[in-house]
C-alpha cells in the first residue's frame, strides 16, 4: 500500500499552487486524488482532471452507496468528497496519493490512515493577504469570495491538529518547505 499526503487550508491560501509544485518533483511518485464535487466547473476546469463534476443527485447516490472515503458540504449546497475508487486506482498504479481537501476532510483521512498519512496545513500570512489572493485569482464572484473569507478564520483554528503547518508567504520558501517535509516522510515515515 502507498502513502497519503494531505493538503488542507482556507481557500486562497495557495494549496493548489503548492500541490502542483509537489506533483512535479521527480522521485516522489505522487498522483493527485481527483475529488468529486457538486459545484459547477470554474474557469478552465475539466471534468475528470480537476474534479469529477456531479449533479447533487449523483453525489447523493454515491453517498448512499458508501462510495466516499470522506465527504463534506464545504460551502452551503456544495458537496466535495474523495471517492474510495480514487485511492484504489492510484495505489494500484504503485503511486502515493496527494489530496487537496478541506480541513475536516483532511483530518478525517488522517484519522483513518494514521502514520501512513502526512497531513499538512497551509496557512496564509494573514486574512488580508488571503482576501487579496482570492480577488487576484479572479475565479469567484464577490459573494463567493466573501463566503470563503468568512470561513477562513474558523478553518485556521484546525491548524494545530495537523502534522505540520506551513505559512505560504514567499512562494519559493513554502515550496521548498513542503517538498522537504514530503521527502522526509516518504523516506522515513
Task: Count interface residues toward ligand 5GP (CB under 6 A).
Answer: 13
Strand order in the sheet with 96-100: 30-32, 96-100, 4-8, 117-123, 164-167
Mark residues 1-40: x for contact with ligand 5GP by CB under 6 A, - for none.
Answer: ----------x-----------------------x---x-
Residue written as cell 466573501? Answer: 146
Cell numbers standing for residue 181: 517535509
DSSP string across 122-141: EE-S-HHHHHHHHHHHT-S-
Our measurement of the distance from residue 176's CA atom to the centroid of its chain's CA atoms, rounded to an integer in Å, reads: 18
If phi > 0 it is left, if psi is from -120 to 50 it is alpha, else beta; for residue 187 that is: alpha
Tell which one of 133, 144, 161, 164 touches ligand ADP (CB under 6 A).
133
Using CB under 6 A as the binding rule, the residues of this chain from 93 to 152 that contact ligand 5GP are: 100-102, 105
144 contact, one of ligand ADP, ligand 5GP, none, CB 5-8 Å limit per kind: none
- Of the candidates 4, 5, 6, 9, which one interacts with ligand ADP according to CB under 6 A? 9
Binding site for ligand ADP (CB under 6 A): 9, 11-17, 133, 136-137, 168, 171, 174
Where does this chain bind ligand 5GP (CB under 6 A)? 11, 35, 39, 70, 72, 74, 80-82, 100-102, 105
Amino acid at each position: 500500500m502507498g502513502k497519503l499526503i494531505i493538503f488542507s487550508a482556507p481557500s486562497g491560501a495557495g494549496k493548489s499552487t503548492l500541490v502542483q509544485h509537489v506533483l512535479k518533483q521527480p522521485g516522489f511518485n505522487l498522483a493527485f486524488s481527483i475529488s468529486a464535487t457538486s459545484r459547477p466547473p470554474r474557469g478552465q476546469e475539466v471534468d475528470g482532471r480537476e474534479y469529477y463534476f456531479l449533479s447533487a443527485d449523483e453525489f447523493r447516490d454515491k453517498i448512499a452507496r458508501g462510495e466516499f472515503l470522506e465527504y463534506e458540504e464545504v460551502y452551503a449546497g456544495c458537496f466535495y468528497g474523495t471517492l474510495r475508487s480514487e485511492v484504489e486506482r492510484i495505489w494500484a498504479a504503485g503511486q502515493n496519493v496527494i489530496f487537496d481537501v478541506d480541513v475536516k476532510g483532511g483530518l478525517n483521512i488522517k484519522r483513518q490512515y494514521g502514520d501512513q498519512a502526512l497531513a499538512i496545513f497551509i496557512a496564509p500570512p494573514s486574512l488580508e493577504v488571503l482576501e487579496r489572493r482570492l480577488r487576484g485569482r479572479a475565479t469567484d464572484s464577490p459573494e463567493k469570495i466573501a463566503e470563503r473569507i468568512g470561513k477562513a478564520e474558523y478553518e485556521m483554528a484546525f491548524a494545530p491538529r495537523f502534522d505540520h503547518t506551513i505559512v505560504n508567504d514567499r512562494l519559493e520558501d513554502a515550496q521548498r518547505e513542503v517538498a522537504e517535509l514530503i521527502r522526509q516522510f516518504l523516506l522515513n515515515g
